[in-house]
Structure 1
Amino acid sequence: MTDTIVRVAARGDGITADGRHAALAAPGDQLTISGDVIPGPHHQAPPCRHFPRCGGCQLQHLDDSSYSDFITDRIVGALAAHSLETDIRTPLLSPPFSRRRAVLQAEMKGGRIQIGFSENASHVLVDIEECHILTPALFAVIAPLRPLLAKFLRKNRRARLHLTEADQGIDLLIEGIEPEGLAAAEAISDFCARHNVARFAIDSGLGPEVRWEPEPVTISLSGVPVALPTGAFLQATREGEAALIAAVREAIGEATTTADLFAGLGTFTFALPGRVYAGEAARDAIGSLKSAAALARRQIFADHRDLFRRPLTVAELDRFQAIILDPPRAGAREQALLMADSRPPVIAYVSCNPSSFARDSEMLCKGGYTLDWIQPVGQFRWSTHVELAARFSR
């Protein structure tokens, strides 16, 4: 006697029609009475030896079809909680080996530096010897980092490693080490010169301190080089960034005056035609955006503005033909309330949290907007993290 797994829940467990849960089960698998999983047609062999221990991935056992269905189901469920529905397009999945930014941990254990992700729901660190999500350039720096960190990392302490693939090479920020002296400086310089590190910074609790940066580090956004602040947010993959930009451009159409809210470094700002207002609370990010826009001679007004405490008013919103909204995971409740009363013909909403997106969408729809479509994007491959871009029209 077996039950069939019919879907995958938000945290990655397979679920049968009668509500039984099973870890590492895919739709179409059979669940026996004793709890064993018999693989079905959508259950693939996980490509990485560290799965399922490593917390970097939760869904490597799903094939692309069932992984796409998981992403879609997450969005459908979030919308249903607010009595909403719309056309949901086929998710666009980033390929393996495409993650250009990541946060890893490092610790000394058994006389050896271990680097990797923590186990799921645990503080135990998995020392990664392979990774199927990081770009080859990011993964290549991990092995040589071990002997470097062995010089500085104290016993019983962990370091956090922020890695980003920038235009000039790897941008590396390390929290939890305090290298001092000439020998430490020489070791860092030698490491960076040998392993394509564009910038090496250390945060000992008082903010990032750059120890190596032979030339200014940039990230190119729609062909415009933008100064990359240490630890700044960047879309996780180039493919995901391109998919989100394409969806936003489709959503706003031929608008010639656009407000890009929560603009960050300008992921969407520099991809837009006409005049653009870019609002962002992070001072370093908006400073980089403003400088890049000036050098590129673009019609962009960069505004250092906290859109949670001081959202654009209805009168300000009504000046634009289109609004782009790309808030953090918490969504943009305060701004969405005002947008619901505004008159711009179209809104492009980019979200990394279906739940907060659905909440804000309900406010917009009650204000007279229609949710036309949603384009899901799977940047964080094999994870339970879901991103999307949506179009609203009045």
Structure 2
Amino acid sequence: MSEAVEQIIRIAAKGDGVTASGRHVKGAVPGDMVGADGIVERGPHHIDPPCRHFPRCGGCELQQADEAALAEFVSQRVAFAAESQELVPDTLIAPHLSPPRSRRRATLHARRAGKKVVIGFRERGSHQIVDMVECHILAPALFALVDPLRALLAHWPGKLAVDISLTLADQGVTAEIRGISPENLAQTEALSDFAREQGLARLSIDDGYGPEPMWEPEPVTVTLGCVPVSLPHGAFLQPTADGEAALLTAAKEWCGDAATIADLFSGLGTFAFALAGPAKVLAAEADRAAHLACQAAARASGKPVHSLHRDLFRDPLTADEISRFDCVLLDPPRAGARNQADMIAQSSVGRVVYISCNPQSWARDARRLADGGFRLAELRPVGQFRWSTHVELASLFVRD
């Protein structure tokens, strides 16, 4: 190679390889060498992608990176986000990466293409659908439904543009199909037969007015902290069971012996039920269906969880309210929790556990906590979305 050859030193936030000079190279990983002509010579961390659909399929972005490169990317994404706000954790733990075929929730797309139905993820940056014949990220129970769904939809009349949300619950897989509606008895029976033959926990149809269950032999639940919680349509669930366990391990360790805990943006109670007993937990959530599911599960289990229906974006817990707790845990949506972080910073609470699915919004909130007297004691990167640029984290803040 010529003297213009450069080495890839890291993977950027959107998945491109980056050289020391700042040059971005699509599909390159650390250790690769790239010439002035753009030709990439593979390095020791560049591997053959395991899936035939890569890189066309938008479900994955980094299958060309080996385990070490993936781990480094996840760790750097979190560390760089902290550094962008001049924050340095006392401890940065090695990242947790979810294994292949562990994703327990996903949304697939389907449409008619000539005489066949294509089903899968969309191409990266396109509305075109990659017709899925294998998948290395979906849990086997989810992938097993691809061919049966293709066969079901192949006999559906008319134009077809369908979204299919699959989730692995306690009773099996729930499927929500958006974009079709049974118009006669034969179509209704076809859907019921499909649900029964595939052993679905629930089949719901959304024709534009919200999902309606067509098949649900018994109430669908997801077990959180040893407590079965009703699973409403569209409710948030951590994408992998092992990733959830990694986040829970951090939360339990950091909340420690706290007698009172505020779980903010609590959803169904992923953290609340795991942390409750003997600690008393306030679980605050804006989504009404999730709040009611958490509330009912708390009553049925006897766990010391008080479920509060409250929009923490518009009406965050005040500094005085927060000061009543020994520890605060928050797990907000991707937008972060600016207003709630401000209230926490103004409170007297001594410990904050912040779980985030967006390092950038987390970093902005973390700066607010730091300005309020908190120190970033520990940071744990988590890569639940394997081979993706989507990164999560768990963090602990303590007052000096």
Give TM class, smaller chain: over 0.9
1:13-37 deviation line (CA, Å, top 9, x unaligned) = 0011112221111100010221111
Post-superposition offset of 1:210:
0.9
Query: What is aligned with 2:284?
Result: 279
Query: What is aligned with 1:243?
Result: 246
Contact 1:173 1:231 in 2 (8 A): no
| Structure 1 residue 301 corresponds to structure 2 residue 301 | no
Unaligned runs of 5+ residues in structure 2 are none
Query: What is aligned with 1:138?
Result: 142
Query: What is aligned with 2:226?
Result: 223
Post-superposition offset of 1:94:
0.6
Query: What is aligned with 2:206?
Result: 203
Contact 1:31 1:37 in 2 (8 A): yes
Query: What is aligned with 2:156?
Result: 152
Contact 1:152 1:179 in 2 (8 A): no
Q: 1:18 aligns with which of 21, 36, 56?
A: 21
Q: 1:288 aligns with which of 281, 293, 316?
A: 293
Query: What is aligned with 2:44?
Result: 41
| Structure 1 residue 163 corresponds to structure 2 residue 193 | no
| Structure 1 residue 346 corresponds to structure 2 residue 358 | no
Query: What is aligned with 2:97?
Result: 93
**Aligned equivalents of 1:146, 1:154: Cα separation in 2:** 15
Structure 2 SS opposite 1:211: strand
Query: What is aligned with 2:113?
Result: 109
Q: 1:6 aligns with which of 6, 9, 17?
A: 9
Query: What is aligned with 1:254?
Result: 257
**Aligned equivalents of 1:51, 1:133: Cα separation in 2:** 12
Query: What is aligned with 2:329?
Result: 324
**Aligned equivalents of 1:269, 1:151: Cα separation in 2:** 45
**Aligned equivalents of 1:371, 1:247: Cα separation in 2:** 14
Structure 2 SS opposite 1:127: coil
Structure 1 SS opposite 2:8: strand
Structure 1 SS opposite 2:246: helix
**Aligned equivalents of 2:248, 2:161: Cα separation in 1:** 37
**Aligned equivalents of 1:146, 1:207: Cα separation in 2:** 23
> In structure 1, what residue type is equivalent to 2:105?
R
> In structure 2, what residue type is equivalent to 1:115?
I
Post-superposition offset of 1:153:
6.1
**Aligned equivalents of 1:81, 1:377: Cα separation in 2:** 19
| Structure 1 residue 389 corresponds to structure 2 residue 367 | no
Query: What is aligned with 2:132?
Result: 128
1:250-280 deviation line (CA, Å, top 9, x unaligned) = 1111111100000000100110031100000
Contact 1:115 1:128 in 2 (8 A): yes
Structure 1 SS opposite 2:336: coil
| Structure 1 residue 380 corresponds to structure 2 residue 385 | yes
1:49-94 deviation line (CA, Å, top 9, x unaligned) = 0000000000001111111111111122222221111132110011
**Aligned equivalents of 1:261, 1:71: Cα separation in 2:** 25
Post-superposition offset of 1:38:
0.9
Contact 1:251 1:348 in 2 (8 A): yes
**Aligned equivalents of 1:166, 1:302: Cα separation in 2:** 22
**Aligned equivalents of 2:232, 2:351: Cα separation in 1:** 32
Unaligned runs of 5+ residues in structure 1 are none
Which TM-score applies when normalising by structure 1?
Answer: 0.98
Structure 2 SS opposite 1:118: coil
**Aligned equivalents of 1:19, 1:277: Cα separation in 2:** 47
**Aligned equivalents of 1:134, 1:391: Cα separation in 2:** 31
Residues 1:95 and 1:291: Cα distance change in structure 2 (over 3 Å) = same
Query: What is aligned with 1:84?
Result: 87
Structure 1 SS opposite 2:346: coil
Query: What is aligned with 1:32?
Result: 35
| Structure 1 residue 62 corresponds to structure 2 residue 68 | no
